A and B are shown apart, each in its own frame.
Chain A
């Protein structure tokens, strides 16, 4: 086996055959043992908080509309008090870049906290594990059940689990689509089984992905599919917080009675109970050193601290630490890498904030009439015809004043007396410009349309156009 991706830096203890057998086509099922402790509580808090945000957010209302609705059919994104249009895609792209940089920054500082507490893969896997434990029992009961041949009892238990998983997945898919299509309408349609074909497709697609990823793929997504797991080591340095076993203290490991004095017996603090391995959701042995499979969930810390307590040893045989601290040095939080990430992040964030605050919620598009270049009116003037598209991206209705400049004596004629556009509305406005041939300097002349809201001077845009004549 020559695939370097399947062996982590610490995976040397496994033989080639074992690695080949654990490729994700036929991976052995991992039964993570339930763990209690500080970090487990933090993770439950994170999971509940994030799941709550995910399932509740689409139901929130803001100012008469769904608070967060990425309305794809209507081509506008409602994000609380902001409405984004396709023209604003740039802001979304910058937001994604900022999110990426925040991830870099956090990774350099605190390691893979994202993986252990906030990644959707972790969050939904935890939820699915919880359901599995409620239905099938603890780790040992699960293993025993899986070893049994199929029976009515096993079928009933497995059936219940999969039914609950599927129901949860479909609800997840429904919620997902609810971010893109008004969820109250979607809910009403769901009740009468009258959902559009594409909404149905996406609910099932996302539901199926949830079921597969959180129910079956689990840690294999992190090991084999996650791009972040592959490149996160590039952000790591010797001052990054990692979950680590302290070999100097633990070795030589070995089981012993509680009454045995490890120093006298020449033993380290590790009693080789393998609880750290049993609780690991990715099935690694943290004592083999830092491995790319480790998602820094710190379940092993909780498990080991518990054991150290029972043995009467100090906690922290496995703990959050840095490479520098382990080598007996000090950890530097402020270091060039952190400062550079922070400066770039602040700069982009400030530029984003400024640019966003200067965003004008008014759009003007000028389209020349394609049928005729120009025509002569009965009183000898040259006339050009345009279609103006006025897009009100503000959250209130406005009335606008239109003016045009660029040619002396240029006059503007339109059929509509007032230009009034509702919030989110688009108005098509045919206009005619007239000028005296004597005032034209060339065949093609530059003119500028200017549109200003009558009640707000800051809502102003201008758009260039061409005025054609015989010259």
Chain B
């Protein structure tokens, strides 16, 4: 299996690291446009501080872009295997 040739740590970093950078940018853009206080006009976020909302927002952005990264990694490896049977990926 070609995907066994790529170490697990490398795969993890390949997914987590670029998505981390994207999440930083996305969080900055999103929260400079929207104030958490305006996003929840009925006071649902009363228990969570602004810093908490930013942090949760960041973690969600990270999660979403990491999922996309997993997809990219999966297709890159499986397509590479299909096109070069016997290659070591």
- List A residues at the B interface (Cβ < 8 Å): 1-3, 23-26, 72-73, 75, 86, 89, 180-181, 196-199, 201-202, 224-225
Task: Write the nearest CB–CB distance from B16 to chain A, whole angstroms.
Answer: 10
Task: Write the nearest CB–CB distance from B78 to chain A, whole angstroms.
Answer: 16
From A2, A24, A89, A196, B9 is in contact (CB under 8 Å) with A24
A-contacting residues, B1-32, CB 8 Å:
5, 7-10, 13, 17, 28-29, 31-32
From A1, A2, A3, A202, B55 is in contact (CB under 8 Å) with A202
**Complex CA distance for A24 and B14, rounded to whole angstroms:** 11
Chain B residues whose C-beta falls within 8 Å of the C-beta of A73 in the assembled complex = 49-51
From B9, B28, B31, B54, A25 is in contact (CB under 8 Å) with B9
Judge whether A196 and B8 touch: CB under 8 Å. no
**Complex CA distance for A216 and B5, rounded to whole angstroms:** 23
Judge whether B10 and A198 touch: CB under 8 Å. no
**Complex CA distance for A17 and B68, rounded to whole angstroms:** 32
**Total of A-B residue pairs, C-beta within 8 Å:** 50
In the complex, what residue of chain A is closest to B59 when comparing beta carbons? A201
Judge whether B35 and A86 touch: CB under 8 Å. yes
Judge whether A198 and B52 touch: CB under 8 Å. yes
Task: Write the nearest CB–CB distance from A38 to chain B, whole angstroms.
Answer: 35
Chain B residues whose C-beta falls within 8 Å of the C-beta of A201 in the assembled complex = 55
Chain B residues whose C-beta falls within 8 Å of the C-beta of A2 in the assembled complex = 84, 87-89
From B5, B50, B84, A72 is in contact (CB under 8 Å) with B50
Chain A residues whose C-beta falls within 8 Å of the C-beta of B46 in the assembled complex = none
At the interface, is chain B mostly helix, strand, loop or mixed?
A: helix
Interface presence of B33 (CB below 8 A): yes
**Complex CA distance for A335 and B10, rounded to whole angstroms:** 40
Judge whether B35 and A75 touch: CB under 8 Å. yes
**Complex CA distance for A86 and B50, rounded to whole angstroms:** 14
Chain B residues whose C-beta falls within 8 Å of the C-beta of A26 in the assembled complex = 7
Task: Write the nearest CB–CB distance from A276 to chain B, whole angstroms.
Answer: 28
**Complex CA distance for A201 and B55, rounded to whole angstroms:** 9
Judge whether B10 and A24 touch: CB under 8 Å. yes
Judge whether B10 and A224 touch: CB under 8 Å. yes
At the interface, is chain A mostly helix, strand, loop or mixed?
A: loop
How many chain B residues sit at the interface, stated as a range, is 20 to 34
Contact pattern, B 70-89, Cβ under 8 Å of A = 1, otherwise 0: 00000000000000100111
Judge whether B7 and A23 touch: CB under 8 Å. yes
Chain A residues whose C-beta falls within 8 Å of the C-beta of B32 in the assembled complex = 86, 89
Chain A residues whose C-beta falls within 8 Å of the C-beta of B7 in the assembled complex = 23-26
**Quick one: given A86-B32, A86-B33, A89-B32, are A72 and B51 in contact (CB under 8 Å)?**
yes
Chain A residues whose C-beta falls within 8 Å of the C-beta of B87 in the assembled complex = 2
Task: Write the nearest CB–CB distance from A202 to chain B, whole angstroms.
Answer: 7
Task: Write the nearest CB–CB distance from A174 to chain B, whole angstroms.
Answer: 15
Chain B residues whose C-beta falls within 8 Å of the C-beta of A3 in the assembled complex = 89
**Complex CA distance for A180 and B51, rounded to whole angstroms:** 9
Judge whether B13 and A224 touch: CB under 8 Å. yes
Chain A residues whose C-beta falls within 8 Å of the C-beta of B29 in the assembled complex = 89
Chain B residues whose C-beta falls within 8 Å of the C-beta of A25 in the assembled complex = 7-10
Task: Write the nearest CB–CB distance from A64 to chain B, whole angstroms.
Answer: 23
Task: Write the nearest CB–CB distance from A235 to chain B, whole angstroms.
Answer: 20
Chain B residues whose C-beta falls within 8 Å of the C-beta of A72 in the assembled complex = 50-51, 54
**Complex CA distance for A1 and B33, rounded to whole angstroms:** 46
Given contacts A72-B51, A75-B50, A89-B28, 11 further A-B contacts (CB under 8 A): A1-B5, A2-B89, A23-B10, A73-B50, A86-B35, A89-B32, A89-B33, A199-B51, A202-B55, A224-B10, A225-B13
From A24, A89, A196, A224, B51 is in contact (CB under 8 Å) with A196
Task: Write the nearest CB–CB distance from A209 to chain B, whole angstroms.
Answer: 10
Chain B residues whose C-beta falls within 8 Å of the C-beta of A86 in the assembled complex = 31-33, 35
List 7 A-B residue pairs with CB atoms under 8 Å apart, sorted by A's residue number: A1-B88, A2-B88, A24-B13, A25-B8, A180-B51, A202-B55, A225-B13
Judge whether B9 and A198 touch: CB under 8 Å. no
Task: Write the nearest CB–CB distance from A121 to chain B, whole angstroms.
Answer: 13
Contact pattern, B 52-65, Cβ under 8 Å of A = 1, otherwise 0: 10110000000000
In the complex, what residue of chain B is closest to A226 when comparing beta carbons? B17
**8 nearest interchain CB pairs?**
A25-B7, A89-B32, A25-B9, A198-B51, A73-B50, A86-B32, A198-B55, A198-B52
**Complex CA distance for A224 and B7, rounded to whole angstroms:** 13
Task: Write the nearest CB–CB distance from A84 to chain B, whole angstroms.
Answer: 10
**Complex CA distance for A321 and B89, rounded to whole angstroms:** 38
Task: Write the nearest CB–CB distance from A186 to chain B, whole angstroms.
Answer: 11
Chain A residues whose C-beta falls within 8 Å of the C-beta of B10 in the assembled complex = 23-25, 224
**Complex CA distance for A199 and B89, rounded to whole angstroms:** 42
**Complex CA distance for A224 and B28, rounded to whole angstroms:** 26
**Complex CA distance for A201 and B59, rounded to whole angstroms:** 12
